[in-house]
Amino acid sequence: MNDRNDFICLHCGAPVSSEACGTRHRNHCPHCLHSRHVDMHSGDRACLCRGVMEPIALYQKADGELMLLHRCTVCGMIKANRVAGDDDPEALCKLVPEVGQICS
Amino acid sequence: MYNHQEETLLQTYGWQQCHAQSFIPYQEQGYQAYRIVREGKGLYWGFDGEKELLLRRSGSFQNREDLGVQNPPVIGDWCAVLPYGEEQGLIEGVLERTSAFHKSSAGDRERVDVSSSVVAANIDKAAIVQDIRNDFNLRKTERFLSLLHADGIPAILILTKCDLVEEAELYPRRVQARFSDLPVFLVDSLSGKGLEELAASLAERSTLMVLGSSGAGKSTLLNSLCGKRVAKTQEVRSSDGRGRHTTTSRQLHLLPNGALLLDTPGLRSVGMNTSSSEVEDSFEDIALLASQCRFADCTHTGEPGCAVQQALLGGELEQDRYLNYLKLRSEAQSWEEVLNMRKQKDKHLGKLLYHYRREGLHER
């Protein structure tokens, strides 16, 4: 880890590289899918909240793109982030209970 | 006419061409120009670069004021003064203002006799001062910006006591995510951090008015910029970090770099004394979105085809900014209603008086 945007996940402690497949900005941990409330607009790092954001849902846009919904545990803000190509499939499945049952 | 040396002295205190023009009729009658540099408890002090006088309004000035054809003088005003005695003068007229800042208090909605009054004149720029730890509030900043925008006064934001928070540099970034054009200065008045950059941004002979809540650090900032104690200060309350209303009068100070700083008492509340259209104009991003709404009179509160709501859902518009916009607009609308009620009341009274004068008191 030598890029200044690399980080250690606050939730699971895993080291995370800033490079992510399928999205310009790494905005959540690919292992536990948790994020941190640091942006007002994507990548600006202007938010003062800095709370941990938990993944609450997965949804598919009309164009087929998979999006992850996060909710901040401090201020309650809900944000949508694109699913990255290296996100843990099991963690993603757990967000969709019916699919999770099939996978397990 | 003033000679060059006298004119230069006046210019040090913000004298401009428009003031010189409006002063010509008074000069021919032997008046002198003084700028009101201190105001408090009904008294005024004027300064012309050399001498300070205690000023009061002349009889004819007060008469014109009572008739409603003369604005009362406020701090920052250039006045035509007739000196008398050693240290006193009579104000005969107020010269043309380049700008005027109006203020009313929130919570005055029920009173029909409330007025939004000019509290300062000839202001070139306003600084919204906030204590970064206890007083940082984007909604309040937005409120100030809306008022200043209505008066045509550009603004800057000064965040004081930046040594009391970690990662203080995050705060300007947060502000600029919401107000991309607003210059933000991080200062620590006690250690001097950030003061040089702030002083460099103040033009010589320009007047900066500092606004903010009690305890924000306005007077401490002034003392640090002057390099000496020119204003009284006190520590904030330990229980909640709020101020003790130490500054009780408005005063104009000349800084070492040639700029002028107007120190004001802390504001308890700031009411919207502008029209709703001026509030809408001050939210430029929302105004731009509003032009794309399906309906021209869209109120952005749920109408179909509302571009503002769409931007909100898409994350392009901050929810807090949108909610504050609705709140300020609603306050401005109720202010307009108050003004209309007052106008109706005056009109009704005027008609009644006219009728009595014309028909006589004994008839109806």
Among B25, B27, B47, B28, CA closest to B36: B47
ipTM higher than the 0.90 cut: no
A46 lies within 8 A of chain B by CB: yes
Answer whether A56's CB lies under 8 Å from A74's CB. no
Residue A103 CA to chain centroid, in angstroms?
Answer: 21
Nearest CA of chain A to the CA of B162: how many Å?
14
Helix (H, G, I), strand (E, B) or coil at B204: coil
Q: How far apart are the first and last CA of chain B?
A: 58
Residues 6+ apart with CB under 8 A from B143: B270, B272, B324, B328
The model carries a pTM of: 0.80
Give the residue from chain B lying closest to A80, CA to CA: B315
Across B316-348, b (16+ Cβ under 10 Å) vs e yields: ebbeebbebbeebbebbeebeebbeeeeeeeee
Q: Long-range contact list for B85-90, CB < 8 A, 24+ apart?
A: B87/B51, B87/B52, B87/B53, B87/B54, B88/B53, B88/B54, B88/B55, B88/B56, B89/B32, B89/B34, B89/B46, B89/B53, B89/B54, B89/B55, B89/B56, B90/B55, B90/B56, B90/B57, B90/B58, B90/B61
Structure tokens at B326: 């609705």
Structure tokens at A65: 């793109």
Chain A residues with CB-CB distance to B173 below 8 A: 44-46
Structure tokens at B253: 């100070």
Q: List pLDDT tens digits, range A14-60.
A: 988 877 665 566 789 999 999 999 988 877 888 989 899 999 999 88
- Calculate ∠ Cα B139-B102-B50, nearest 5°: 120
A4 lies within 8 A of chain B by CB: no
Q: List pLDDT tens digits, range A52-98.
A: 999 999 988 888 888 899 999 998 888 888 888 889 988 888 888 76
State the virtual CA torsion across B191, B197, B198, B200 in degrees, nearest 10.
130
Q: List pLDDT tens digits, range B263-274.
A: 887 766 666 667
